[in-house]
Amino acid sequence: MNTTALETVPVGGPTLPQERRLVTAIPGPASRALLARKAAAVSAGVGHTVPVEAVAAGGGVVVDADGNSLIDLGSGIAVTTVGNAHPAVVAAVQQQVAQFTHTCFMISPYESYVAVAEALNRLTPGDHEKKSALFNSGAEAVENAVKIARKHTGRPAVVAFDHAYHGRTNLTMALTAKAMPYKSGFGPFAGEVYRAPVSYPYRDGLSGPEAAARAISQIEKQVGAENLAAMVIEPIQGEGGFIVPADGFLPALVDWCRANGVVFIADEVQTGFARTGAMFASDLFGIVPDLITTAKGIAGGLPLAAVTGRAEIMDASHLGGLGGTYGGNPIACAAALAAIESFEHDDLAHRADEIGGILRDRLAAIQAVDARLGEVRGRGAMVAAEFVDPATGAPDAALTTSVAKACIAEGVIVLTCGTYGNVLRFLPPLSIGDDLLHEAMDVLAREIDAAESGTAPRLSDDDAPRPDAD
């Protein structure tokens, strides 16, 4: 049964009217009907942040079944980076789906898988010989990167960091720091996973080298380099709060890994593909990972992930040790090749920097008059605002949730994150226009101000934003 209220469902992509438009309250009647069906048919464990029935998206907007047009500052959590329903991605998918939908690359190989691997080998940091393997999700990529590192080194242990998020599989839940909602009640988790302190300049006050020395000392004492297969870290942490490490932190970790035969894995699932103003965030910090995991923005909205790295490490696995039924699906590969073409030739990294500049300037202006906005941080179009008690610096999750709910009610999609739930994160598609960005920031500024006086509009408790997942 179709609950869509619109007489004519609009076609998505950049031709959609680029406007914030509210014709009903959020959620409207058609969206409420779908959410009622969701409650009856879908596991209660599957939440949602925005209480709408999405029917079209493109440029910088998402249109719902009631005809509301919301400004999209989330990109499906950094997935539709090139823009939703990007014309080149749509055309590539349509062409491929008419040719064949699946053979399983491990059974009957096809050219597009190889072409994606070649592109990744060329684009990822470093000029050494590289190879790639394709998978379905970021979590699957991280899990396989750890498998590869263990096989290469013959060592069992893996180090992840405070505030890390790496996925929802058993191993990646073990790597992930935050218990709720990702880990609580789901254990026991994979063993030989250890946690080290990360660089969090806003809260630890340490320089990069100081933070690295602290982490390395703990690793050496509690794990031992001789037992360590891999170190896994997001160059800029995602779900943990868009934490940008202090300069020198990541290079020091890489140097220690090189000196001790430890595989350095950069989880660039959220930071990769122009999101941070560079093709990969590792480039911003001057590091060359041994292995790099990618997903999210790689294929314009289709499920695809990859592990790319030094050929000798990638080749450590025995024949048949890597793969999966759907890994590198031909439709997803076709989409990825179209998206990569756009990343490379449409100067999207530069556009990410332009977007980030607008976001940071507008947030800094709010911060200048409201001490509850403790820090504005990020790189490129990956920007965060951390809300705190101005007297103590303690995280203010309640304010963050209130502002997020209010923005959504006013037609602006924003996401929350952070170990303490006190961070708003901004991940707009790189296809969004400046006018929409400024309008979204106008709404945000009003709702932050309104929250101070207790007048911010509220969604119902049932429609409250859920913790967002990478």
- Give domain limits for the chain: 29-72+348-463, 88-345
- Topology given in CATH for the domain delimited by 29-72+348-463: Aspartate Aminotransferase, domain 1 (3.90.1150)
The helix/strand/coil state of 72 is strand
What distance in Å separates the CA atoms of residue 218 and residue 415, rounded to the nearest whole number? Answer: 33
The pLDDT of 403-408, averaged and rounded, is 97
Q: Give the pLDDT of residue 75.
A: 97
User: Strands of 61-64's sheet, edge to edge?
Assistant: 54-58, 61-64, 69-72, 412-413
Do the domains 29-72+348-463 and 88-345 sit in the same CATH topology, yes or no? Answer: no
Q: Which amino acid is at 147?
A: K
pLDDT tens per residue, range 40-98: 999 999 999 999 999 999 999 999 999 999 999 999 999 999 999 999 999 999 999 99
- Alpha helix (H) ranges present in 165-263? 170-175, 201-204, 208-222, 249-260
Q: pLDDT band at 9, cuts 50/70/90?
A: confident
Q: pLDDT band at 4, cuts 50/70/90?
A: low
Q: What are phi and psi of 413, to 5 degrees?
A: -80, 115
The maximal CA–CA distance of the chain, rounded, in angstroms, is 65
Tokens of 362: 């507008």
For 438, residues 6+ apart whose C-beta sits below 8 A from its C-beta are 358, 362
| Range 358-365, long-range pairs (CB < 8 A, 24+ positions) | 358/434, 358/437, 358/438, 358/441, 359/383, 359/426, 359/428, 359/437, 359/441, 362/437, 362/438, 362/441, 362/444, 362/445, 363/441, 365/445
- Topology given in CATH for the domain delimited by 88-345: Aspartate Aminotransferase; domain 2 (3.40.640)
What distance in Å separates the CA atoms of residue 395 and residue 387, rounded to the nearest whole number? Answer: 6
pTM for the whole structure: 0.94
**Dihedral sign, CA of 305, 57, 77, 438?**
positive
Residue by residue, DSSP assigns 279-343 as SSHHHHTT---SEEEE-GGGGTTS--EEEEEEHHHHTTSPTTSS--SSTT-HHHHHHHHHHHHHH
**DSSP 8-state class, residue 87:** H
The pLDDT of 374-387, averaged and rounded, is 98
Q: pLDDT band at 5, cuts 50/70/90?
A: low
Residue by residue, DSSP assigns 385-441 as EEEB-TTT--B-HHHHHHHHHHHHHTTEE-EEESTTS-EEEE---TT--HHHHHHHH
For 330, residues 6+ apart whose C-beta sits below 8 A from its C-beta are 96, 99, 100, 101, 102, 103, 110, 112, 113
**Residue pointed to by tokens 């502002």:** 403
pLDDT tens per residue, range 291-343: 999 999 999 999 999 999 999 999 999 999 999 999 999 999 999 999 999 99
Pairwise pLDDT comparison (300 vs 462), residue with the higher score = 300
Beta carbons of 195 and 159 less than 8 angstroms apart: yes
Q: pLDDT band at 385, cuts 50/70/90?
A: very high
* Residue 286 φ/ψ region, left for φ over 0, alpha for ψ in the -120 to 50 degree band, beta for the rest: left
Q: Is the pLDDT of residue 442 over 80?
A: yes
Q: Inter-axis angle of helices 111-123 and 330-345, to 10 degrees?
A: 40
pLDDT tens per residue, range 79-95: 999 999 999 999 999 99
Beta carbons of 86 and 13 less than 8 angstroms apart: yes
Q: Give the pLDDT of residue 1.
A: 53
Q: Give the pLDDT of residue 453.
A: 37
Q: How high is the mean pLDDT of the chain?
A: 94
